[in-house]
């Protein structure tokens, strides 16, 4: 099985473009590839799925333990001819100033060969020194080959022999300067796949050029590995009993398959609410949820006969006017919440449940109104990055004193962020956040559900709600 990770010395090197082109080229060659993304990024996997129709999942060594990451990788790579993992930021850049949860950390955990994408602008021999430094910084580095991006053919023909002689590593190919392949961005990173016209055609175009300029035989020689095996877990005790494996090492899926869904959980999914981890949806389904997708933008009300509600993150600030004008949906959600419907709302979903939301044009619009805060733009990232959440009391998802990894990524803030949990960064900074009770979690922090007790707890709460609704 062809398996490798695409990394770069720094952000902006073209990892997403190269990854998408590589996946498209492998698909054309009949390898049925799957994709992975290092870190908590929502958007890059959306590109893999929407533009290429390739399975894509996240691998994050802060949000998950190494055991869970190995389990996720083996589960989702099974049956494919190739697996391509896209790194994040610079190769060794992880939490804080460490390599923890970096692309290198993922390569080390999964023993993946690494294809390093380098833009050779304004350097010659120095590039060999930089590459050699990256290769020698950690042992092993896992770097097996170099791809030169945004590199003219003439320059490539000069750099390839020089780098192979001085850096002692194969240079497998190059991509020329392709301004037509550039992907637009906005305040939370790249625009989503559905927003970019002709995206599939752009990727197909780059894939054909890559195919012409890549030494496929050498790439396959360097990256052909046995299909990953599912790691064996010990026998688990009750899901809520903490053991030596830690909270984030619960079984990924139930030990026994649930044949029939036990409950219906509504999941917001449209242009405004699109930040969901595929793994979260998969584990909710595995633990007995029938996911009912709906659009707060376009539908008039929640799906009928639901037992739970999940409002993920996204870009509600870009659609505040339309969300506000859909008054029947706001009323439907408010009524369901007030009747005790188990509800989870992360980041954008949290802003939507608030009192008001200010958009990019300084216009303020009423939202659902079950939470007291009003959302407003800050003009910069707020409380950005990984954090550890600690629950102050028992609630829908959490038990008092438990800690869960999370991350925040938003340019908006709220006048009321809640006090149900404490968030803390590795540098010692901490703050109160989130609203939580027996049927609610709502806050800016994004949670990663796979390998935790969260999906079971949410489904169990939905089951109890269903039973309550069925009681005369």
* pLDDT per position as a tens digit, 270-282: 999 999 999 999 9
Residue 464, classified by CB atoms within 10 Å of its CB into exposed (0-12), middle (13-18) or buried (19+), is middle
The token pair at 467 is: 């039973």
Question: Mean pLDDT lowest for which of 22-26, 253-257, 267-271, 334-338?
Answer: 253-257
Report the pLDDT averaged over residues 186-192.
47
Q: CA 138, CA 100: separation in Å to the nearest integer?
A: 13
Report the pLDDT averaged over residues 220-237.
83
pLDDT at position 242: 39
199 — pLDDT class (breaks 50, 70, 90): confident
Comparing C-alpha atoms, which of 262, 192, 184, 176 is closest to residue 48?
Answer: 192
Residue 42 has pLDDT above 90, yes or no: no
List 20, 34, 347, 433, catalytic entry? 347
Q: E strands, 149-296, where? A: 171-174, 185-186, 189-190, 263-268, 273-275, 289-294
Residue 12 has pLDDT above 90, yes or no: no
182 — pLDDT class (breaks 50, 70, 90): low
248 — pLDDT class (breaks 50, 70, 90): very low
Q: How many residues are recorded in the chain?
A: 472
β-bridge partners, 268:
294
Query: Could you give the percent of the chain with pLDDT greater than 70?
Result: 92
pLDDT tens string 355-409: 999 998 999 999 999 999 999 999 877 887 899 999 999 999 999 999 999 998 8
Q: CA 146, CA 407: separation in Å to the nearest integer?
A: 32
Spell 343-356 as b/e; 16+ CB within 10 A means b: bbbbbbbbbbbbbb
In order of start, what are the domains of the chain with their CATH numbers? 2-223 (3.40.50.300), 251-470 (3.40.50.880)
Report the pLDDT averaged over residues 22-46.
91
Residue 196 has pLDDT above 90, yes or no: no
Report the pLDDT averaged over residues 289-302.
97
What average pLDDT is seen over the chain? 90
Residue 405, classified by CB atoms within 10 Å of its CB into exposed (0-12), middle (13-18) or buried (19+), is buried
Residue 186 has pLDDT above 70, yes or no: no
Question: Mean pLDDT lowest for which of 60-64, 192-196, 248-252, 400-404?
Answer: 192-196
pLDDT at position 443: 97
- Cβ pair 75, 230 in contact under 8 A: yes
Q: Active site includes 274?
A: no
State whether the Cα torsion 225-230-233-238 is positive or negative.
positive
Q: CA 98, CA 422: separation in Å to the nearest integer?
A: 23
Comparing C-alpha atoms, which of 333, 318, 328, 409 is closest to residue 365?
Answer: 318
β-bridge partners, 96:
none
pLDDT at position 240: 45
Report the pLDDT averaged over residues 303-323.
96
Q: CA 90, CA 102: separation in Å to the nearest integer?
A: 8
- Cβ pair 289, 254 in contact under 8 A: no
The token pair at 470 is: 């069925």
The token pair at 244 is: 């030596």
Q: For 26, list phi and psi in degrees, rounded to 5.
A: -65, -40
The token pair at 358 is: 């200010």
Looking at per-residue confidence, does 257 or 377 come out higher?
Answer: 377
């Amino acid at each position: 099985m062809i398996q490798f990770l695409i990394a770069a010395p720094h952000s902006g090197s073209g990892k997403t473009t190269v990854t998408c082109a590589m996946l498209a080229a492998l698909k054309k060659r009949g390898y049925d590839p799957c994709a992975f993304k290092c870190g908590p990024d929502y958007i890059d996997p959306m590109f893999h799925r929407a533009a290429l129709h390739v399975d894509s999942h996240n691998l994050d060594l802060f949000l998950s333990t190494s055991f869970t990451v190995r389990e996720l990788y083996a589960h989702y790579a099974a049956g494919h001819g190739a697996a391509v993992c896209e790194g994040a930021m610079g190769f060794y850049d992880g939490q804080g100033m460490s390599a923890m949860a970096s692309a290198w950390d993922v390569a080390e955990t999964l023993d993946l060969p690494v294809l390093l994408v380098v833009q050779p602008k304004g350097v010659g021999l120095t590039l060999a020194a930089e590459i050699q430094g990256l290769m020698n910084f950690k042992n092993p580095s896992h770097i097996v080959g170099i791809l030169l991006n945004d590199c003219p053919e003439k320059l490539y023909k000069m750099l390839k022999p020089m780098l192979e002689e001085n850096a002692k590593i194969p240079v497998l190919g190059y991509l020329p300067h392709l301004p037509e392949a550039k992907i637009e961005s906005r305040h939370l990173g790249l625009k989503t796949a559905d927003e970019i016209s002709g995206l599939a055609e752009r990727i197909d175009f780059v894939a054909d050029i890559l195919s012409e300029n890549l030494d496929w035989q050498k790439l396959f020689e360097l990256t052909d590995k046995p299909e990953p095996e599912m790691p064996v877990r010990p026998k688990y005790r009750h899901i809520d009993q903490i053991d030596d494996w830690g909270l984030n090492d619960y079984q990924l899926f139930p030990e026994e398959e649930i044949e029939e869904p036990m409950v219906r959980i509504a999941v917001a999914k449209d242009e405004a609410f699109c930040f969901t981890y595929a793994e979260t949806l998969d584990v909710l389904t595995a633990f007995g949820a029938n996911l009912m997708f709906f659009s707060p933008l376009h539908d008039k009300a929640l799906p009928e006969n639901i037992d739970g509600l999940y409002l993920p993150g996204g870009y509600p600030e870009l659609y505040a006017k339309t969300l506000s004008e859909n008054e029947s949906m706001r009323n439907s959600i408010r009524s369901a919440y007030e009747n005790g419907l188990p509800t989870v709302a992360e980041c954008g979903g949290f802003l939507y449940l608030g009192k008001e939301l200010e958009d990019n044009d300084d216009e303020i619009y009423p939202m659902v109104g079950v939470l007291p805060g009003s959302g407003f733009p800050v003009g910069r990232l707020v409380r950005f990055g990984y954090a550890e959440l600690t629950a102050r009391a028992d609630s829908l998802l959490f038990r008092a004193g438990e800690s869960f990894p999370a991350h925040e990524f938003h340019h908006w803030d709220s006048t009321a962020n809640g006090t149900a949990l404490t968030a803390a960064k590795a540098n010692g900074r901490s703050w109160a956040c989130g609203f939580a009770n027996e049927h609610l979690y709502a806050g800016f922090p994004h949670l990663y559900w796979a390998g935790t007790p969260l999906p079971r707890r949410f489904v169990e709460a939905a089951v109890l709600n269903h039973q309550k609704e069925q009681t005369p």
